[in-house]
Amino acid sequence: MGFPYPSDPRETVLLSKYFGDAGARSYTGWTERGGYEGVKTALGMAPEAVVEEMKASGLRGRGGAGFPTGLKWSLMPKKADKPHYLVCNADESEPGTFKDREIMRWTPHALIEGCLIAAHAIRAERIYIYIRGEYTEPLAIMERAVAEAYANGAAGENVFGSGTRIDVTLHRGAGAYICGEETAMLNSLEGKRGNPRIKPPYPAQAGVFGLPTTINNVETLAAVPHIMVRGAAWYKSLSLSNPKSTGTKLISVCGHVARPGNYEVTMGTPMRELIYDMCGGMRPGRTLKAVIPGGSSVPIMNAEEADRCLLDYEGVVAAGSMLGSAGMIVMDDSTDMVRAIWRLAKFYAHESCAQCTQCREGTAWTTKILERILAGLGKESDLQLLLDLSENMTGKTICVLSDSCAAPIVSGIQKFRGEFDAYLAKARTPAMATA
């Protein structure tokens, strides 16, 4: 539902059905609402059969990359002659995204159940749930839920009497956006600095502690029990546009809409419908200027692109951006695009792990150049310099953090060039005192 607002009839409410319902948080409350049936079904099936069901459902990763979940699980070694691990990525920190937080706050057992099903499918003996350090409330709720799962035989040495042992460990991060990158997360879990790793080897071959590992996002795992209970065919049928995008997606909407919140829609729902019908449109008297649809790391869309955008993996690409984590930052005509883009660059400069030169230097210089433009001290050549820097920051580093910084810069200059030019021509009051 459009939490914290009441559910809109145009939503398809699966994962968010119990947002705001504190009774759903306890083990008993969750089983009364039909919880833990999916994992019982899964445990009665061979791991390969569970993987096939996931493949058939069309479920794709909800953390940002959209990689098919069943396919990811199938890449794990079939033999469990050494430990296998499942790592749940609960390090939600992509600007604009705040959905995993609500899943953990209101339906912690949905996440645990999804983790257990995934662990069975990939023959993992242990699940690590890596929660960002700032999420103190979700962490406390998850701690209680894990203890309850153990007390009720849903986790531990004999999960629901199946003879399978699956342990669950919560691991608290300590403040680093980059740890949401899956290989950085593995390093962090090992007690190291959160530097992303060069791939290959991929985590399925050598992941955490050098052992086969699958990393899935919170929302992906929370969807899994629904697929086990209602079947892959049903889940696949939830698709309004491209059949490669199935199921529902939680869209975190923030910025200048009347009712920001988390909205759960069927894949393929028009962005227009989400903004104007479900979120109550723009703030009074304002019009739409721009949308960053997938968390801050994707190209910025202008109003015309947003208007024709369908919210699924292919639909957002067709409209010039990417679905990413579906954290939608909506900006109205009052927004200073240069300043908004500068604040994004500053974020990436702060969060660069500093391993790769292109990223460490590129994000810092991008920020400084934007600061001088905002201070009214920009040079005519600065836009080309920013574009050249962005070119050198794209596709050349270990992870995609620097690409993520470049995406809003390049698209911002392309689509809102007039605002940059106004600063350069000193036609606009400087938004900063000094650079």
Partner 1 sequence: MSLKSEQTSAHGGVPETTAPYQPVFVGAARAELERLRPSYPTMQALLLPALWIIQRERGWISEAAMAEAGEVLKLTPAYVKGVVTFYTMYHTHPVGRHFIQVCTTSPCSICGSEETLAAILRYTGCGELGATSSDGRFTVIEVECLGACGFVTPIMVDDDFIESVTPERVPDILARYP
137: contact with partner 1 by CB under 8 A? yes
Contact assessment for residue 326 and residue 310, using Cβ atoms and an 8 Å cutoff = no
Q: Which of 214, 221, 165 is closest to 186 using CA atoms?
A: 214
347: contact with partner 1 by CB under 8 A? yes
Gap between the Cα atoms of 312 and 221, Å rounded:
18
CB of 78 to partner 1, least distance (A): 22
94: contact with partner 1 by CB under 8 A? yes
Query: CB under 8 Å, gap of 24 or more: what pairs does 147-155 form?
Result: 148/26, 148/27, 148/109, 149/27, 149/109, 149/112, 151/27, 152/27, 154/27, 154/36, 154/39, 154/112, 154/113, 154/116, 155/112, 155/116
Contact assessment for residue 154 and residue 160, using Cβ atoms and an 8 Å cutoff = yes
Gap between the Cα atoms of 97 and 253, Å rounded:
8
Nearer CB in complex with partner 1: 235/416: 416
Gap between the Cα atoms of 186 and 92, Å rounded:
15
Select the span of 30-38, 167-175, 196-204, 382-390 touching partner 1 (CB under 8 A). Answer: 167-175
Q: Which of 331, 373, 398, 409 binds partner 1 (CB under 8 A)?
A: 331
CB of 195 to partner 1, least distance (A): 8
CA-CA-CA-CA torsion sign (304, 306, 310, 313):
positive
192: contact with partner 1 by CB under 8 A? yes
For residue 8, the 8-state DSSP code is P
What is the x/- site pattern for partner 1, positions 274-293, by CB under 8 A? --------------------
SS3 content of the chain, % helix, strand, coil (to 5): 45, 15, 40
Q: Which of 18, 30, 73, 177 binds partner 1 (CB under 8 A)?
A: 177
Select the span of 10-18, 53-61, 135-143, 307-315 touching partner 1 (CB under 8 A). Answer: 135-143
Gap between the Cα atoms of 161 and 233, Å rounded:
28
Gap between the Cα atoms of 323 and 339, Å rounded:
23
Number of residues located near partner 1, criterion CB under 8 A: 54
Strand order in the sheet with 327-332: 261-266, 248-255, 327-332, 288-292, 301-302
Q: Which of 38, 58, 108, 173 binds partner 1 (CB under 8 A)?
A: 173
CB of 44 to partner 1, least distance (A): 28
Gap between the Cα atoms of 293 and 163, Å rounded:
44
307: contact with partner 1 by CB under 8 A? no
Please give the structure tokens belonging to residue 71.
Answer: 């396919």
User: Is 159 in a helix, a strand, or coil?
Assistant: helix
Q: Which of 252, 358, 363, 411 binds partner 1 (CB under 8 A)?
A: 252
125: contact with partner 1 by CB under 8 A? no
Gap between the Cα atoms of 417 and 412, Å rounded:
7
Q: Which of 188, 214, 358, 363 binds partner 1 (CB under 8 A)?
A: 188
Select the span of 20-28, 235-243, 246-254, 395-403 touching partner 1 (CB under 8 A). Answer: 246-254
Select the span of 127-135, 144-152, 369-377, 415-423 touching partner 1 (CB under 8 A). Answer: 127-135
Q: Which of 38, 58, 108, 261 binds partner 1 (CB under 8 A)?
A: 261
CB count in 10 Å sphere of residue 195: 19
96: contact with partner 1 by CB under 8 A? yes
343: contact with partner 1 by CB under 8 A? yes
CB of 230 to partner 1, least distance (A): 29
136: contact with partner 1 by CB under 8 A? yes
Q: Which of 17, 120, 256, 415 binds partner 1 (CB under 8 A)?
A: 256
Q: What is the DSSP string of 164-229?
A: --BEEEEEE--S-GGGGSHHHHHHHHTTS--PPPPSSSPTTTS-GGGS-EEEEEHHHHHHHHHHHH
Q: Which of residues 206-235 bind partner 1 (CB under 8 A)?
A: 209
CB of 140 to partner 1, least distance (A): 9
Rg (CA), the chain: 22
CB of 254 to partner 1, least distance (A): 4
Q: Which of 89, 262, 366, 411 binds partner 1 (CB under 8 A)?
A: 262
CB of 368 to partner 1, least distance (A): 17
Please give the structure tokens belonging to residue 43.
Answer: 């445990």
Q: Which of 111, 149, 166, 176 binds partner 1 (CB under 8 A)?
A: 176
132: contact with partner 1 by CB under 8 A? yes
- Between the CA of residue 103 and those of 2, 234, 362, 407, 423, what are the distances in Å? 13, 22, 35, 29, 42
Binding residues (CB under 8 A) for partner 1: these are 83, 92-98, 101, 126, 132-137, 167, 169, 171-177, 188-194, 209, 252-256, 260-262, 296, 327, 329, 331, 335, 339-340, 343-344, 347, 350-351, 353
